[in-house]
Amino acid sequence: MSVNVERRTDPPGDAEHVREAWELKERIHRVDGVLRQRRGFFTDAYRRSTTHLILEDDEVIAFASVRRDGYVLFLAVDPDHRGRGLAERLIADVAEEYQSVSCHARTTNERALGFYEHIGFEVKRRIDGYYEDGGDAYYLTLGPNSLRERLSEFVRG
Protein backbone atom coordinates (compact mmCIF):
# COMPACT_ATOMS: atom_id res chain seq x y z
CA MET A 1 0.00 0.00 0.00
CA SER A 2 1.43 3.35 -1.06
CA VAL A 3 1.21 6.43 1.15
CA ASN A 4 1.19 9.86 -0.46
CA VAL A 5 2.87 12.52 1.73
CA GLU A 6 2.97 16.10 0.50
CA ARG A 7 3.68 19.57 1.80
CA ARG A 8 1.38 22.49 1.12
CA THR A 9 1.18 26.09 2.22
CA ASP A 10 -1.87 28.20 2.99
CA PRO A 11 -0.72 31.83 2.54
CA PRO A 12 -2.29 34.67 4.56
CA GLY A 13 -5.92 35.07 3.62
CA ASP A 14 -6.21 31.44 2.46
CA ALA A 15 -7.97 29.17 4.92
CA GLU A 16 -8.36 26.09 2.73
CA HIS A 17 -7.19 23.76 5.50
CA VAL A 18 -8.35 25.69 8.58
CA ARG A 19 -11.11 23.22 9.48
CA GLU A 20 -8.73 20.24 9.30
CA ALA A 21 -6.06 22.14 11.25
CA TRP A 22 -8.64 23.04 13.93
CA GLU A 23 -9.74 19.40 14.21
CA LEU A 24 -6.11 18.24 14.57
CA LYS A 25 -5.44 20.94 17.18
CA GLU A 26 -8.52 19.85 19.13
CA ARG A 27 -7.44 16.19 18.98
CA ILE A 28 -4.05 17.16 20.39
CA HIS A 29 -5.79 19.21 23.08
CA ARG A 30 -7.86 16.17 24.12
CA VAL A 31 -4.83 13.83 24.10
CA ASP A 32 -2.12 16.09 25.57
CA GLY A 33 -4.05 18.91 27.28
CA VAL A 34 -2.21 21.60 25.27
CA LEU A 35 -3.18 24.01 22.45
CA ARG A 36 -6.14 25.54 24.31
CA GLN A 37 -7.21 28.27 21.93
CA ARG A 38 -10.78 29.36 21.32
CA ARG A 39 -12.04 28.62 17.81
CA GLY A 40 -12.44 32.29 16.83
CA PHE A 41 -8.92 33.14 17.96
CA PHE A 42 -7.48 30.12 16.16
CA THR A 43 -9.35 30.79 12.92
CA ASP A 44 -8.43 34.49 12.84
CA ALA A 45 -4.77 33.77 13.60
CA TYR A 46 -4.68 31.02 10.96
CA ARG A 47 -6.13 33.32 8.31
CA ARG A 48 -3.58 36.06 9.07
CA SER A 49 -0.58 33.73 9.04
CA THR A 50 1.26 31.51 6.59
CA THR A 51 0.54 27.89 7.43
CA HIS A 52 2.92 25.13 6.38
CA LEU A 53 1.11 21.81 6.21
CA ILE A 54 2.06 18.17 5.84
CA LEU A 55 -0.66 15.94 4.44
CA GLU A 56 -0.75 12.18 4.20
CA ASP A 57 -3.27 10.85 1.70
CA ASP A 58 -4.93 14.31 1.71
CA GLU A 59 -5.31 14.36 5.51
CA VAL A 60 -3.55 17.09 7.54
CA ILE A 61 -1.14 15.32 9.90
CA ALA A 62 1.02 18.32 10.88
CA PHE A 63 1.07 22.10 10.51
CA ALA A 64 2.87 25.25 11.62
CA SER A 65 1.19 28.66 11.40
CA VAL A 66 3.65 31.56 11.29
CA ARG A 67 3.25 35.34 11.44
CA ARG A 68 5.17 37.49 8.97
CA ASP A 69 7.85 38.20 11.58
CA GLY A 70 8.73 34.50 11.95
CA TYR A 71 6.75 33.97 15.15
CA VAL A 72 5.28 30.43 15.29
CA LEU A 73 1.68 30.72 16.44
CA PHE A 74 0.83 27.03 16.25
CA LEU A 75 2.89 23.88 15.79
CA ALA A 76 0.95 20.63 15.77
CA VAL A 77 1.71 17.03 14.84
CA ASP A 78 -0.88 14.27 14.95
CA PRO A 79 -0.04 12.00 17.91
CA ASP A 80 -0.16 8.95 15.59
CA HIS A 81 2.56 10.49 13.39
CA ARG A 82 5.03 11.75 15.98
CA GLY A 83 8.64 10.63 15.90
CA ARG A 84 8.90 10.94 12.12
CA GLY A 85 10.62 14.35 12.04
CA LEU A 86 7.52 16.23 10.88
CA ALA A 87 7.82 19.06 13.40
CA GLU A 88 11.51 19.44 12.56
CA ARG A 89 10.64 19.61 8.87
CA LEU A 90 8.03 22.31 9.51
CA ILE A 91 10.40 24.40 11.63
CA ALA A 92 13.07 23.95 8.94
CA ASP A 93 10.61 25.35 6.37
CA VAL A 94 9.98 28.32 8.63
CA ALA A 95 13.70 28.86 9.31
CA GLU A 96 14.40 28.95 5.57
CA GLU A 97 11.80 31.68 5.11
CA TYR A 98 12.46 34.01 8.05
CA GLN A 99 15.53 35.73 9.49
CA SER A 100 14.39 35.03 13.03
CA VAL A 101 12.08 32.35 14.39
CA SER A 102 10.41 32.59 17.79
CA CYS A 103 7.51 31.15 19.77
CA HIS A 104 5.99 30.77 23.22
CA ALA A 105 5.58 27.49 25.07
CA ARG A 106 3.87 26.75 28.36
CA THR A 107 6.32 26.34 31.19
CA THR A 108 4.53 23.08 32.03
CA ASN A 109 4.67 21.65 28.49
CA GLU A 110 7.76 19.49 28.89
CA ARG A 111 7.30 17.75 25.53
CA ALA A 112 7.27 21.04 23.62
CA LEU A 113 10.13 22.53 25.61
CA GLY A 114 12.23 19.40 25.09
CA PHE A 115 11.54 19.50 21.36
CA TYR A 116 12.38 23.19 21.01
CA GLU A 117 15.59 22.82 23.01
CA HIS A 118 16.55 19.73 20.99
CA ILE A 119 16.41 21.65 17.71
CA GLY A 120 18.21 24.70 19.06
CA PHE A 121 15.65 27.12 20.48
CA GLU A 122 16.80 29.09 23.49
CA VAL A 123 14.62 30.34 26.35
CA LYS A 124 14.87 34.14 26.39
CA ARG A 125 12.47 34.91 29.22
CA ARG A 126 9.59 33.66 31.32
CA ILE A 127 6.25 35.46 31.17
CA ASP A 128 3.95 34.89 34.14
CA GLY A 129 0.21 34.80 33.35
CA TYR A 130 0.81 34.84 29.58
CA TYR A 131 -2.06 32.56 28.62
CA GLU A 132 -5.75 33.36 28.89
CA ASP A 133 -6.15 30.75 31.64
CA GLY A 134 -3.34 32.35 33.67
CA GLY A 135 -0.68 29.83 32.60
CA ASP A 136 2.94 30.90 32.38
CA ALA A 137 5.05 30.78 29.22
CA TYR A 138 8.61 30.87 28.04
CA TYR A 139 9.52 33.03 25.05
CA LEU A 140 11.96 31.09 22.86
CA THR A 141 14.05 32.00 19.83
CA LEU A 142 15.88 29.82 17.35
CA GLY A 143 19.61 29.81 18.00
CA PRO A 144 22.63 30.41 15.76
CA ASN A 145 22.90 30.12 11.98
CA SER A 146 24.64 26.75 12.11
CA LEU A 147 21.41 25.29 13.45
CA ARG A 148 19.50 26.80 10.52
CA GLU A 149 21.80 24.92 8.18
CA ARG A 150 21.20 21.68 10.09
CA LEU A 151 17.44 22.24 10.07
CA SER A 152 17.42 23.04 6.38
CA GLU A 153 18.72 19.50 5.77
CA PHE A 154 15.21 18.34 6.79
CA VAL A 155 13.78 20.44 3.98
CA ARG A 156 16.16 19.01 1.40
CA GLY A 157 15.92 15.47 2.82
Distance CA 33, CA 106 (A): 11
List, in order, residues 6 or more apart from 44 with CB less than 8 Å away.
none
Q: Quick one: which of 90, 97, 117 has its CA closest to 5?
A: 90
Residue type, 48: R
Q: Which of 15-29, 93-107, 114-128, 136-150 has the lowest mean pLDDT?
A: 136-150
Identify the helix (H) or strand (E) that includes residue 146: helix 145-156
| Strand partners of residue 52 | 9, 64
- 73: pLDDT strictly greater than 50: yes
| Mean pLDDT within 80-98 | 92
Domain ranges of the chain: 5-155
- 3: pLDDT strictly greater than 90: no
- 36: pLDDT strictly greater than 90: no
* Per-residue confidence (pLDDT) for residue 146, from 0 to 100: 41
Average pLDDT, the chain: 88
Better pLDDT: 139 or 120 = 139
Instruction: HSE, CB side, 13 Å, CA atoms: give it for residue 40.
Output: 0
Confidence band (pLDDT; 50, 70, 90) for 148? low
Better pLDDT: 81 or 149 = 81
| Strand partners of residue 137 | 106, 127
Q: With respect to CATH, is domain 5-155 assigned 3.40.630.30?
A: yes
